[in-house]
Amino acid sequence: MTITEASRAGLSSLVASAEAGNDVPLSRHGRVVAEVVSAEEISSLRRDRDTLRDAALVMARFATDSGVRTDLDQAMEFFGFTRAELEAEIAADIAAGRA
């Protein structure tokens, strides 16, 4: 449906069609530029997008995982912290209501 046709049909008509499960593609100069879809459809699409993003992250991590692991003590040593310093910082945050 062109933008002009959609304008003539009215917003209520477009929404009713989308609610009924009929997606309404809107075109300008012969090219689809938008689509009116139901809230249920857009919610489903967003869930699918999030699922695909999570799957891509897992696959990327799996493909690049060398198997090497670093424990907390090694990381603290690398960054120049001691366990006592981190525990004191956490205690200060808790006392200040930031944790």
pLDDT tens string for the chain (99 positions)? Answer: 999 999 999 999 999 999 999 999 999 999 999 999 999 999 999 999 999 999 999 999 999 998 888 898 899 999 999 999 989 999 999 999 987
Whether this model's pTM surpasses 0.75: no
Q: Which two tokens stand for residue 34?
A: 């938008």
Read off the DSSP letter of residue 67: S
Q: Rounded to an integer, what distance in angstroms lies between the CA atom of residue 20 and that of residue 56?
A: 33
Q: Which two tokens stand for residue 86?
A: 């981190």
Nearest C-alpha neighbor of 32 from the set 2, 10, 5: 2
